Amino acid sequence: MQSAPLPETLANLLGFDPNSTPVMIVMSLIGAALIGTLMMTNTALAGPWAKRKITAAFTDRIAVNRIGPFGLFIIVADAVRLLSKELIVPEGVDRPAWDLAPLVIASTALLGFAVIPMGNGIQLADPEVGLAYVFATASMASVGLVMAGYASNNKYSFLGGLRAVAQNVAYEIPLILTGASVVIFAGSLQMSEIVAAQQQSLIGPLPSWYAFVNPFAFVLFLIANLAEVGRNPFDIPEAPTEIVAGYQTEYSSVYFVLVYLGEFIHIFLGGAIIATIFLGGPAGPVLPGIVWFMIKIWGVFLFTQWARSAVPRVRIDQLIEIGWKGMLVLSLANLLLTAVIVGVIA
Amino acid sequence: MSNPWIAIGALAVVAVAIPISMMAVSSLLRPSVPEQGKRATYESGEVPTGSSQQIKFNIQYYMVALLFVIFDIETVLIFPWTVIYRDAVAAVGMTKVLLPMVVFIGVLVVGLGWAWRNGAVQWVRSPRATKGADTYE
């Protein structure tokens, strides 16, 4: 199952020597551009189009349908519209931080895709600490959210920033501990090994994906992931009916695009982590791996949109209590229980 | 096998280049029409009062952040254990591997229980909010 990372495959394909460093740097840049383009395409499809269509379907309305087939060209129209808006810089913003925040939010989420195996050999890098790396990049977005909230000089933004930290710190630990319970099964942090460990059959044709092996951990992870990406019931950092738009209140034009885009890439990154550690990565019958991988991350995206349309928002006091009293205790129990079960079987 | 961090560095370059190029394109396209009052921060249409950077905020945000530091270090310490767990059980038996971690997590659970009892993970509502809830019930 172990296939070479993408830059090496590219070097071999184009007939260069994969052992020389300059060649690898160029090939890595090409590979990175491919991954970046792939994820940006997904986000472009999800943000201005799929999200509207899905929400409309849930609330029995008709969404974008005027430009192009199924209203798809709204993506182009929206891109031009948003990029050509005036950038209003509010009075008294903390300048370098206010400009950097959208950059941090957008680029850290994109960075996580470096270690995700997408099937058909599309994996940019495969370091031994893959899972720790991907959790690290995924949680860096909170730094961007705090920067945006604090630097905007707006009370709504400030509240949104504070809420974002309170939420992310409360759900980060259950998320990572549940991820750790998967590592107990797999015995490795390397993404390709975690995927490879899920390929044997569990019962009959059912593969031993960790979602089937440990459904309890899977549910915990799904819920913690909703909080991590800030979607209902955990969308209190934005809470449009309470604090306008939270940390993104003062952002307009391209900065708004970047914050919004960062959120969507983050949802896809969450989906990619779930697909990799719980749903067998790119594994699946008949169709090629990359297609299965896309189906899985879009499945997780659909789940977040479903939650967004169907579940009411929790309050800040409920959020803290669910996080610290419920999820944390359950995730510790899950970790120990997994350890006991694996210990008895092994 | 080449160094995987070259590829990760390359993605870091791309991940920064994409937003910056979008900013550059936008700066070519967008107008700039400075007007009186346009730059005021949004406070539901009111004239903004004071700065938000010297605002007093709820101390409980700080409490949960402090707790997080402790539990975050805990997860860092748990990770190496999870990686070697399977091999270690095969090598020295389950009790020797599992028991130290049970004790370690036990200590943390006692700590969490202490924080729980002292109300650090309980959001204290303001008297006004509590009073409001009483009137509506």
Q: Name which residue leads in pLDDT, A255 or B120.
A: A255
Structure tokens at B64: 């949960």
Question: Can you give the pLDDT at residue B135?
Answer: 52
Question: Can you give the pLDDT at residue A189?
Answer: 86
Question: Can you give the pLDDT at residue B32?
Answer: 82
The pLDDT mean for chain B works out to: 81
Asked if the model's pLDDT at residue B111 lies above 60, the reply is yes
Question: Can you give the pLDDT at residue A28?
Answer: 82
Count contacts between A and B (CB, < 8 Å). 255
List chain A domain ranges: 92-345
CA A210 – CA A186 distance, rounded (Å)? 9
| Beta bridge mates, A207 | A201
**φ and ψ of A51, to 5 deg:** -60, -45
Half-sphere exposure of A267 (CA within 13 A, CB side): 27
Question: Can you give the pLDDT at residue B131?
Answer: 65
The ranges of chain A with pLDDT < 70 are 1-3, 346
Question: Can you give the pLDDT at residue B137?
Answer: 43
For chain A positions 11-70, those within 8 Å of chain B (CB to CB) are 18-19, 21, 24-25, 28-29, 31-33, 35-36, 40
Instruction: Check if B2 contacts A (Cβ < 8 Å).
Output: yes
A327 contact residues in B (CB cutoff 8 A): none
Express each pLDDT in B5-34 by its tens digit: 888 888 888 889 988 998 898 888 888 887
Question: Can you give the pLDDT at residue A298?
Answer: 92
The alpha carbon of residue A120 and the mean position of all alpha carbons in its chain are separated, in whole angstroms, by 21
Nearest by Cα to A270 from A148, A161, A113, A71:
A113
Q: Of the candidates A108, A257, A344, which has its C-beta nearest B22's C-beta?
A: A257
Structure tokens at A254: 């391209």
Asked if the ipTM is above 0.85, the reply is no
Question: Can you give the pLDDT at residue A3?
Answer: 65
Share of chain B above pLDDT 90, in %: 3
